[in-house]
Amino acid sequence: MSGAEVSLGFEEGRVVVRKFLARPQHEGVGAIVRRSIGRFELRYFDPFLVLDEFSVTAPAGFPDHPHRGFETVTYMLQGVITHEDFEGHKGTIGAGDVQWMTAGRGIVHSEMPAAQGTQKGLQLWINLSSKHKMIEPKYQEMVSKDISEATKDGIKVRVVAGEALGTKSPIYTETPTMYLDFTLKPGAHLQHPIPVSWNAFVYVLEGEGVFGTPQSLPVAGHHLLLLGPGDGFEAWNKSSKNLRFILVAGQPLGEPVKQLGPFVMNTEEEIDQTIDDFENCVNGFEKAAHWRSGSALGLDF
Ligand code: FJE
Ligand code: FE
């Protein structure tokens, strides 16, 4: 091993292999999302199904809809969103808060703005393995102050899931996942390990960053970067402003994926079964029969 490789602290640095600009599109009812993973050119990045940078202003939102077979991770950047589900679970998340929802066998819920102005955030859909698709739904919610932060050499990290700079998140990820929110001051240089067998991506939120190799061109906000193989990752802030991005990695499932909108299973038969279950309000959708969210009933206005 050469001296240069030793100083990196890992054997093979991951470089950027694909880059996508996420352009705005309409979703939900009147909401705007910049979808990067889950769009036509990138249907699936195992285990990740969807990455949306959303922007919602009342009365727009994501009214009553179901999910089965995966997890949704909602990480707020600005404003507040209220979610309500058919079990009576209700909560509001604001800037810096995260809701890690395991839909499992079935959730029906609404996700709507809870304030004037524009609510912004990221929603990531993480697939569940065949043996976890039909587990009981559960929520893990962390308010901003409970998300561990660590700071070192001009780098700040908020550890939503996994571990960074010696700080661990308490979030349990059914599909092993790392979710880190990094802010690099001008001049800062990050080196971070990523398990070799995991798929990893960066999504740039703010400022401009140099990712993978020090010679690569700077990348600005709304860009998704897929990282190639390796056991580590490097980023540089060569600009005069703060750079903020998320680094997300997950263990690929290596299973067939059959998706019909908010239902993600392994086979066509399981999708047909899911449609049946949802229409007949059985196998986890029992409470869908008579439930409407408060927002659907007009209770908010
Ligand atoms: C959904 C269309 C949708 N991205 N980002 C179809 F819009 C949705 C959906 C969301 C969503 C919700 C939030 Cl809070 C943030 C999002 C898509 O709810 F689930 C389907 N099936
Ligand atoms: Fe949803």
Residues 6+ apart with CB under 8 A from 284: 68, 104, 105, 106, 134, 137, 277
Residue 4 dihedral angles phi and psi, to the nearest 5°:
-60, -45
Nearest residue by C-alpha to atom 2 in ligand 1: 28
∠ CA(185), CA(122), CA(215), 5° rounding? 40
Cβ(27) – ligand 1 distance below 6 Å: yes
CB 81 near ligand 1, within 6 Å: yes
Q: Give dist(CA 46, CA 100) in Å, integer.
A: 18
Which one-letter DSSP state was computed for residue 144? Answer: G
Ligand 1 pocket residue status of 278, Cβ below 6 Å: no
Provide the pLDDT for residue 300.
58
Structure-block tokens of residue 152 = 């070192």
* CA–CA distances in Å: residue 258 to residues 3, 267, 271: 47, 6, 7
Residue 6 has a pLDDT of: 43
Please give the pLDDT value at position 95.
98
Mutation pick for ligand 1 pocket among 51, 65, 278 (CB with most ligand atoms within 8 Å):
65
Nearest-5° Cα angle at 217, 216 to 220? 130
Contact indicator for 103, 71 with CB cutoff of 8 Å: yes
pLDDT value of position 2: 40
Of 218, 246, 247, 295, the closest CA to residue 77 belongs to 246
Q: Rounded to a whole number, what is the largest CA-CA distance in the chain?
A: 66
- pLDDT per position in the chain (301 positions), as tens? 343 444 457 889 999 999 999 999 999 999 999 999 999 999 999 999 999 999 999 999 999 999 999 999 999 999 999 999 999 999 999 999 999 999 999 999 999 999 999 999 999 999 999 999 999 999 999 999 999 999 999 999 999 999 999 999 999 999 999 999 999 999 999 999 999 999 999 999 999 999 999 999 999 999 999 999 999 999 999 999 999 999 999 999 999 999 999 999 999 999 999 999 999 999 999 999 889 998 878 765 4
pLDDT of residue 298: 75
Is residue 149 within 8 Å of residue 156, measured between CB atoms? yes
Q: Helix or strand or coil: residue 206?
A: strand
Atom of ligand 1 nearest to the CA of 31: 7
Closest ligand by atom to 123 CA: 1
